[in-house]
Structure 1
Amino acid sequence: MRKILQLFLLLLGSWQIAAASEVHAVLVFPFENRSTRADLNWVSESFAETIASRLSGPDFYVLNRTERDVACTQLGIPSDTPLTVASEFKVAQTLGADWVVFGRFNVEGAGLTATARLLDLRKLKLSPPIAATGELAELVDLQTRLVWLLEAAHDPHFTVGTEEDFSRKFPQVRLDAFENYMRGVLATDDPARIHFLEESDRLNPSDHRAAFALGRFYFDQKDYANSAKWLKKLNPGDAHYLESLFFFGVDEYFLGHYPSSKTAFEKIGREIPLNEIANNAGVLATRAGQDEQALEEFERAHAGDPTDADYCFNRGVALWNLHRHNAAATSLEEAIKLRDDDSDAHTLLAVVLEKQGDAAGEKIQMEWLHQHQMGLEAHPSRDVLPQPRLKKNFDERAFLLLSLAVHNALEERLAAMPADQHAAVHKSHGKTLVGEGRLAEAERELAEATSLAPSDSEAHLSLAEILEAEDKPQEAAAEFQTALKLKDSFAGHLGLARAYLALNHRDQARLEGEAALKLDPDSREAQEVVGRIISGMK
Structure 2
Amino acid sequence: MKRCPECGREYDNTMMFCLDDGAELLYGPARSDRSASAGGQFGDDEPATAILHSTAAQGEAPTRAQIDTTDRTSVSHPGAETTKKAGGFDKRLLLAPIVLAAIVLGGFGAYRYLAPSNTGQIDSIAVLPFENRSGSADTDYLSDGLADSLIYRLSQLPNLKVSPTSSVMRYKGMASDAAKVANELGVDAVMTGRLSQIGDNLNISVQLIDVKAGKVLWAEQYDRKMADLLATQREIATTITQKLQLKLTGDERGIAKKYTESSEAYQLYLKGRYHFARRNRDDFNKAIESFEQAIKLDPNFALAYARIAEAYNQMPNYPYASPMEAFPKAKAAAERAIALDPTLSEAHTAMGNTLTSLDRNWPEAEREFKRALELDPNSATAHYRYASEYLISVGRTKEALAEVERALELEPLDPNMVANLGRHYLYDGQRDRALTQARRAYEADPTFVIARLLYGMTLNAVSQYAEAIALSENALKDDPNNQQMLMVAGYAYGRSGRRADAESVIEKFREISKTQYVIPSFVAVVFGAMGEKDRAFAELDKSIEQRDSWFRWAKVEPLFDPLRDDPRYKDLLKRMGLPE
TM-score by length of 2: 0.42
Greater helix share, structure number = 1
Provide the TM-score with structure 1 as the length reference. Answer: 0.45
